[in-house]
Structure 1
Amino acid sequence: MTASRCSYPAFEPTAAGDDDALAVVGLSVAYRVRGRDREVLHDVTFRVRRGEAYGLVGESGCGKSTVALTALAYLPRNGKVTSGRISITGRDIASLSADKLRTMRAQTVSMVYQDPARALNPSLTIARQVSEAFELAGATRTEALARALEMLRHVRIAAPERVMSCYPHQLSGGMQQRVVIAMALASKPALLILDEPTTGLDATVEAEVLDLVAKLRAEYGTAVLFISHNLAVIGRMCSRVGVLYAGRLVEEGATEDVFGAPRHPYTVGLLRCLPGRSRSKDGMPLDTIAGSLPPPGAVIAGCAFAPRCRLADDRCRRDAPPPYRFHGEHGAQMSRCHYYEQAATLPHVGGQPAPGQQPKVERAAHAPLALHAAHLSKTFDASGVPLRAVDDVSLDLVAGETLGLVGESGSGKTTLAKLLVGLVAPDAGGTLELDGRPLPAHVASRDDEQVKSLQIVFQNPDSALNRAHSVKRLIGRALSKLGALRGRAHRARLATLAQAVRLPTRYLDSRTRQLSGGLKQRVAIARAFAGDPRVVVCDEPTSALDVSVQAAILNLLADLQRERGVSYVFISHDLHVVRYVADRIAVLYVGRLLEIGPARAVFDGPNHPYTEALLSAMPTFGSPNDLSKTRIRLVGDPPSAAAPPSGCVFHTRCPRKLGAVCEERDPAFADAGGGHRIRCHIPVSELRALQREAQGA
């Protein structure tokens, strides 16, 4: 396709149209920090039409949430609009009085935040919180309760009468998010703003929430501004997308055009950061975007992206690019790049693996066993009721291998990880071996060599790193305890370790509060590798990171594995990431292992019906709003580990349930070949035929 360029200036702000639910025109916003205005948004212009879903993407710090807060006039006290305007359904929000602004928030626009637990009042029941939204619209208390119950049914909450009497902490994350969406839709708003609404959700719950938003948008004609760093989610949900960088809208257009034929090097870089179906950690590494965002308020000459762009020249560093407009295949497209026609030629960061570096999966077949776990179970006391979080799990991990652990929240993944590293002790009867030798159940009983051989990287580095200490001290303490190094050897090892995790030495004297999320995770990884571990458990290490930072962390873990032969247990709810990093995959459900096998076999099938449902929920870069992809919808939430079902633990939600045999007998593992085992009453050959038929193969 050849783009047709318009003469500059090609993108001039105009008045909001009658069909605009949201119009942002020439918006610039600054925060006043230490006596100086620091600009965070610069001349941003876009529109969301009535009934349209518009996606806003970019790295953390690009200004996505600031756009949302400005649209609702929720900027903090030190924030102000320095130029431009925002109108919602034709009304300029800057011209509204305080009373009219409150009325608009109550009746015309609603917002769903990333963390539903923080948006709900922990001291009020769900009934009180949802009904309050209807009372604000003029309903009586009785009417509001009845409408609240109906709205909970509408957002597909099972047993809504029971949920009405619950408090937020008694609900799962997915149910909390549905409650928040129910409250947001109570007024049937013209505009719904979703700020990272699925970041912390499992694949199945995420898919349910996305289906719900699409269904309700079609039903009510609500426009949606969808903010997310998950590009696959945006690709599925939104018909148009805008890409923000350093507070500037650098590309905009139909989602198929922006993601299918991006015309800005930043968009190209973001898309190349994604783990693709055909890539693995042993092939070409993921592309990364070098450098970092300019600090807020920085004076930028030329293109803001030029310092990180591999196409930039003197013109880019000197002249700020105007918003070039041209015709994409599916509509108008805009790019702020002098060389937008050459964006697709952006050089790749990574190359082919060095000669002699064979895929891990081939070496793993002949590698020695690093970790052996047999019949691990863990029972907790939940208010006098035994809760079996892990139930008779056995697995092996060979040297240099990555085992992916997947399953919904509450499936026992993190508990199993803590059993492996000794943070909790298993029930009697379970055994652990490291390099063929018995491994004490609890870390306090392990010797120094065993402790440093098994390490863990947690999901949130902020909760794992002491904010009062410098990076040098944090890593240094780990070296002293795990490496037993002093003096010159200690300093040399610290420098080597910082280099290994790609942590610039200028950050060694910094406190963690001064670091980005990606740099904090590198510090956490450096601590884990201080003692040259044999096995590292990675518990959701990239879930809260942007795709560019995620790519850098995944490449780093792959490099460290290649260089040091370390084994990983990798926990994630992002199945695209698991497909990229894992050699083998284990699927947990209510504490039980339902399937285990080579990654390719698990993803290609046949699968356990639960695995089949998880894989069907993966968001893909299909046509926006095309929900025709075959997806298996699981009814209800997983059962409680305090009262698991008899027979097959999955039978209460299984779409392929056979009958009484599933309810009465726990199935044994069946061999699907090549080390692939499935725990199901349905024969492997029949599972394969059923799943091929469902996929239309």
Structure 2
Amino acid sequence: MSPDEDPLLAIDNLTVAYGKGTRSHRALQDVSFVVHPGETVAVVGESGSGKSTLAHAVLGLLPKGSEVTNGTVALRGRVTSGRPRKELDAIRGRDISLVPQDPTVSLNPVQRVGVQVAEALRLHGHSKDSAQTRSRALLDEVGLPDPDLVARSYPHELSGGMRQRVLIAIAMACAPALVIADEPTSALDVTVQKRVLDALGLMADKSKTSVLLITHDLGVAVERASRVLVFQHGRLVEHGDSDAVLRTPTHPYTVQLVAAAPTLGLTGRIRPRVVDTPVVSASEPGALVTAAGLRKTFRAGGRGPSTVALDDVSFSITKGTTHTLVGESGSGKTTVARLVARLEVPDSGTVSVAGHSVGATPAGGSRAEIRRWHQGVQLVYQNPYSSLDPRSSIESIVREPLDSFGIGNRAGRGARVRELLDAVALPERVVRSKPRELSGGQRQRVAIARALALQPELLILDEPVSALDVSVQDRVLRLLVDLQAEHHLTYLFITHDLAVVQQVSDTVSVMKKGIVVEEGTTHDVLTEPQKPYTRQLIDAVPKVGTSGLAEPATSG
């Protein structure tokens, strides 16, 4: 790329507003930048920073009620903003295309994959036969095994990573000059993320396609893009070469993002974990939690061959420490969580918490025994929005466990709710709010407050920060560490992100296809992995050198 080369994409003083008059809100304000032919540029920032609005403006797909109030979007020197829909339809797919975030929503569930890839070609002049042939070649080029089988499959028959690569095949079908990848890997495991981004990069290199990569993950941005654009509140607050933005950020918000990003290096910035925490034997007395020989199988629809979800899984957790289960989707992590939470019963093996055990019994014990178990073991789920009743106030949500277990009187429960909200750093005024009125990070704090209401002995945290932006993720992780230190809490933490493991965990079990392939202290497993699969997980974390990084911002 020559600095004198004409830009492929030119954004000039772009302003986008939602609403009219006094209700108007500027989602983008005076944004200007260029993307050159064959260049990958990353756009980073939190939710609400304007990243997706930028993508929709470039594609001419702004939602109803929004408009470009100033500035222009130009592709190959020709202004496209404000053009008639018919003109934009001719450009989309041929000259510019989109890799959306969620393949479950973006792919037609009742249409075979090959038909959907071929459709993109048919819309731009390919015959039926040539489109079918080319669609299989595209599925092969994005690294999907057995392209003929994939082409005959429906989306639900593919994994998340495979579906995302189908979207890349569709986006690259006509070899467009520019591809906008809008959070293409945010819902994927780290190893699958690497394969998807590798596929996108190879396809772009082959077609000499420019990529506008939209992400909240600064590690991914720096590793995959030559330049980074940092957005905050609709403004472009910093831009430059990836290495320069990482090592010498000039804007306070960029410094905050760099400090908060766990994928920039396994550095454990929250607080040093005890590196000599012993790995307690599953049979050793004194552990708060002991899982021994857990096996669980499932049979789809109650019929057909069974699938082994867990096979002889054992681990123990010392009181006041964090044990993490890490692995890809389908490794059995959440199945373990459900067994420990007594939401499922193992086929064989036992789970013990504070001396109380449950094994392979049909009902799992008496009603009173199950209630005692659920009082001592609480779950915090991945998605704080779907786990909170949208019709209830925050006060009702946090108070619900106290009501259910008959703890205290009405006044005492109200006081306890306010005490819990204060513990998770939420202001008292949110008690009257509904979940939709809070941010993602605030909703997850509500979920944590609710889980703490009954003073449980064990908190199970199932991917509690994977749906959050990096700076929000950092604040929630800090909160969990502080709560653990203050209340001597014990955590079973579940994640696919090894960088998060480093920040919160004392000991770790690495899982693959229902078995534990490696376990030990977090320090030992991450610095001296013994198994190839563990090394594969570590190698998949975006690697950016940590020397010379900006000083971490203090948490607020």
Q: TM-score, normalised by structure 2?
A: 0.92
- Please point out which of 323, 326, 329 is paired with 1:406: 326
- Please point out which of 106, 109, 115 is paired with 2:102: 115
Work out whether 1:396 is the aligned partner of 2:296: no
Amino acid at match of 2:104: A
- Please point out which of 435, 439, 443 is paired with 2:354: 435
Give the direction of change, closer, same or farther, for the CA distance of 1:39–1:95 in structure 2 (3 Å limit). closer
**C-alpha distance in 1 between matches for 2:522 and 2:179:** 38
Matches within 5 A, 1:466-505: 466-482=389-405, 484-505=407-428
Q: Which residue of 1 aligns with 2:15?
A: 28
Q: Which residue of 2 aligns with 1:545?
A: 468
| Residue 217 (structure 1) shift | 1.9
Q: C-alpha deviations, 1:214-248, integer Å up to 9, x for none?
A: 22222211111011011100010111111111111
**Counterpart secondary structure, 1:200:** coil
**Counterpart secondary structure, 1:94:** coil
**Counterpart secondary structure, 2:237:** strand
**Counterpart secondary structure, 1:464:** coil
**C-alpha distance in 2 between matches for 1:443 and 1:619:** 46
**Counterpart secondary structure, 1:461:** coil
Matches within 5 A, 1:296-335: none
Work out whether 1:81 is the aligned partner of 2:68: yes
| Residue 281 (structure 1) shift | 4.1
Work out whether 1:602 is the aligned partner of 2:525: yes
| Residue 194 (structure 1) shift | 0.5
Work out whether 1:463 is the aligned partner of 2:452: no
Work out whether 1:243 is the aligned partner of 2:162: no
**C-alpha distance in 2 between matches for 1:364 and 1:408:** 25
Amino acid at match of 1:498: L
Amino acid at match of 2:481: A
| Residue 590 (structure 1) shift | 1.0
* Contact 1:89–1:190 (8 Å) recurs in 2: no
Work out whether 1:418 is the aligned partner of 2:338: yes
**C-alpha distance in 1 between matches for 2:120 and 2:16:** 30
Work out whether 1:259 is the aligned partner of 2:265: no
Amino acid at match of 1:40: A
**C-alpha distance in 2 between matches for 1:443 and 1:221:** 63
* Contact 1:235–1:620 (8 Å) recurs in 2: no
| Residue 49 (structure 1) shift | 0.8
| Sequence identity (%) | 42
Matches within 5 A, 1:6-21: 19-21=6-8
Work out whether 1:567 is the aligned partner of 2:485: no
| Residue 364 (structure 1) shift | 6.9
* Contact 1:280–1:581 (8 Å) recurs in 2: no
Amino acid at match of 1:184: A
Give the direction of change, closer, same or farther, for the CA distance of 1:482–1:598 in structure 2 (3 Å limit). farther
Identify which of structures 1 and 2 has the higher relative contact order when contacts are C-alpha pairs closer than 8 Å and 6+ apart: 2
* Contact 1:112–1:180 (8 Å) recurs in 2: yes
Matches within 5 A, 1:184-203: 184-203=171-190
Give the direction of change, closer, same or farther, for the CA distance of 1:444–1:90 in structure 2 (3 Å limit). farther
* Contact 2:238–2:250 (8 Å) recurs in 1: yes
* Contact 1:364–1:400 (8 Å) recurs in 2: no
* Contact 2:276–2:521 (8 Å) recurs in 1: no
| Residue 109 (structure 1) shift | 0.3
Matches within 5 A, 1:47-86: 47-86=34-73
| Residue 77 (structure 1) shift | 1.4
| Residue 517 (structure 1) shift | 0.3
- Unmatched tracts of structure 1, length 5 or more: 1-15, 284-358, 624-697
Greater Cα offset, 33-42 or 460-469: 33-42
Matches within 5 A, 1:267-278: 267-275=254-262, 276-278=265-267
| Count of residue pairs the alignment pairs up | 532
**Counterpart secondary structure, 1:226:** strand
Q: C-alpha deviations, 1:298-352, integer Å up to 9, x for none?
A: xxxxxxxxxxxxxxxxxxxxxxxxxxxxxxxxxxxxxxxxxxxxxxxxxxxxxxx
Work out whether 1:378 is the aligned partner of 2:303: no
- Please point out which of 489, 508, 522 is paired with 1:585: 508
| Residue 202 (structure 1) shift | 0.9
Amino acid at match of 1:431: T
Give the direction of change, closer, same or farther, for the CA distance of 1:447–1:418 in structure 2 (3 Å limit). closer
Larger radius of gyration: 1
* Contact 2:325–2:509 (8 Å) recurs in 1: yes
Q: Which residue of 2 aligns with 1:282?
A: 271
* Contact 2:279–2:521 (8 Å) recurs in 1: no
**C-alpha distance in 2 between matches for 1:601 and 1:190:** 46
Give the direction of change, closer, same or farther, for the CA distance of 1:443–1:73 in structure 2 (3 Å limit). farther
* Contact 1:586–1:595 (8 Å) recurs in 2: yes
Give the direction of change, closer, same or farther, for the CA distance of 1:362–1:600 in structure 2 (3 Å limit). closer
| Residue 136 (structure 1) shift | 1.6
* Contact 2:37–2:177 (8 Å) recurs in 1: yes
Q: C-alpha deviations, 1:67-110, integer Å up to 9, x for none?
A: 00000110111000110000112221135333221111031000
Give the direction of change, closer, same or farther, for the CA distance of 1:363–1:18 in structure 2 (3 Å limit). closer
Amino acid at match of 2:355: G
Taking only aligned residues, the RMSD between alpha carbons, in angstroms, comes to 2.0
Work out whether 1:139 is the aligned partner of 2:57: no
Give the direction of change, closer, same or farther, for the CA distance of 1:473–1:444 in structure 2 (3 Å limit). farther
| Residue 443 (structure 1) shift | 8.1
- Please point out which of 468, 473, 480 is paired with 1:557: 480
Amino acid at match of 1:96: R
**C-alpha distance in 1 between matches for 2:404 and 2:269:** 34
| Residue 480 (structure 1) shift | 2.3
**Counterpart secondary structure, 1:621:** coil
- Please point out which of 287, 308, 320 is paired with 1:369: 287
**C-alpha distance in 2 between matches for 1:263 and 1:443:** 60
**Counterpart secondary structure, 2:8:** strand
| Residue 280 (structure 1) shift | 5.2
**Counterpart secondary structure, 2:61:** coil
Give the direction of change, closer, same or farther, for the CA distance of 1:23–1:57 in structure 2 (3 Å limit). same
Give the direction of change, closer, same or farther, for the CA distance of 1:467–1:405 in structure 2 (3 Å limit). same
Q: C-alpha deviations, 1:22-46, integer Å up to 9, x for none?
A: 1110001101168732211110011
Q: C-alpha deviations, 1:253-295, integer Å up to 9, x for none?
A: 1111111100001100111112353325434xxxxxxxxxxxx
Amino acid at match of 1:579: Q
Q: TM-score, normalised by structure 1?
A: 0.74
**C-alpha distance in 1 between matches for 2:31 and 2:484:** 43
**Counterpart secondary structure, 2:320:** coil
Q: C-alpha deviations, 1:477-524, integer Å up to 9, x for none?
A: 122234712133222211111111111111110000111000100010
